[in-house]
Chains A and B, each alone.
Chain A
């Protein structure tokens, strides 16, 4: 095998092919790429939907006793005008109701969350003076998608209908604290809770019978339920003596024993005019019910308490959901003994994992289908080469996505599926050209290495330009605004990377593998 003239590559493609064709580091590079890709896939947080930067705040100002139109004029309109001064706000929604004003400021999608929250807070605090007299301190609630939207919700319910709802609440509250302590859990919240409360239900008839007013009862109760700090005194030899004044109310019976009035020497106790119970907050109209399928039939609606768990931004929903599940298992038996059951009513971690696994499966299936196609058209060796390039390209893309702080979600994987058809192209074009050169009449006279480099170099320029063309079509997509733009951002972020990676992999690995796997046909054994 002698080379009459050495081929001089003109394009980057040929130079890359030449540089790596006989380089011992090439296979190591290949294996390294696959490993970092796999590590990136395992490390990247998994989510169902891509992350969106949505900023906004809600300002709530109460003005007791004002009608809706008063609230509109003295709170909503002036505050709206002030918020209008902030740059980056897209819409301001004002709601004026009797007694309360709610103003919602929504920033353009993509405005930084912390900055936006600060801007609103700053603007409101600067303008406290424009609030009318009697208005309460404004409440500013920033919107935080990651923290506000729970990824797991669990409904706890009791099988014993006689169980005090506050007991259930106490149990859930305890579990809440444990779950909040799990890594990367941001907020845990309880819905449908019934809290402890001593209820004093005054009988109006008995009240008028004793000729008492409600005001007297309030004053009597307040006079006995007062908490004070302990008093510190000293003895003669300077030792400290602590004196604590106990709150007179220790139990629900104490409440009943409050004397509300005296009539001719006989005392009237609170229990004489009211029914006093230790129960739950009766004024809270909010409640939650659950009905789960047990043995093919639905249980009747039962009171429940829902515990919701949300995660910190950029953390793995799958891991957190699993950790919560595991934590709950720990208490399962203990709760069962007390008659408390639970059902997981939302598990976004599981949903994300399913979506991701399904798409990864689709991705693999597509690769197999393409490999089979290539076996028929090009031959199994060629097919094997092209099939190898796909995981290498995906590995590079995944690793870069990981470095840029992206997550694995539905849209990222769709970007991969979309680019799959495109990224085998470079390798197919290279292998096809190698194939063509190998079967050329003068092929048997030439050195295989030379042929590889020439075949790669020949299609280098048009392939580069063509790939650049596809990349250029993806770039403008990055400038699509609004939520939709944010939503599909993984496509313009990943497809160009995959395409560039496909060029490098095609130029480096295709000739490398081809020269080792492919065999030149016998000089006259032409198939055509």
Chain B
């Protein structure tokens, strides 16, 4: 901010006013150590989840008859041990990461895209539009969610994508309500009036003035959505409506491991550590993003 004045009499290489806000935000995020550590951790987890099961010499449901329920041994080739059925937990934990990370990210993506669009439009236009849109949200809230999922399963058969659809459909409801509330206060600010006075179309104002100002709560809430979606998926799987054996997810592994906590603690510790590391990283990254996107915190 201080170096702008150094170029003698104006027209140097950069025209003043052309600084990209995205580049500034990225630079700020890069200086935030906790956020960068979170980003790197998530990247490593995702990388391992994709590559390790793909490169593994045996499938995830391969049973090692000579190593049923053994603890973690590097020498035996099972760094995380095996479960009660003799399957390698290292492989299964990383494979589970694929499902859990995808569910979490897909749910928060749907929640951000649909929730922000729905909430800002509803809040900004107000009146009848607002009433209709929010009553629709209320109706979806009121529908028994399990009934909804079972209906989906009955009609379309059991499929992983259906879990994304089902979780995505409920997760955007909270986001829409939060964003609508924020929008109601933003639209009374004078810069919105000034934009209207300049003849800007309403959707343009929503995109340029309202959305950038709801980023703070949206980012925080989106990072909270990821763990909820992951746990939600394990709940569905527990009921037999989600992921089915031999596929697995962190939620499934944790609930299985919890039942054998006293005899085989490693079956709980490793997936739980991975889930915790993911949530920690997401929180740090979310905080960093919120600060980086707000010029007042730079």
A and B: interacting chains: no
Query: Which residues of chain B have a CB within 8 Å of any CB of chain A?
Result: none
Q: Which residues of A contact B (CB under 8 A)?
A: none
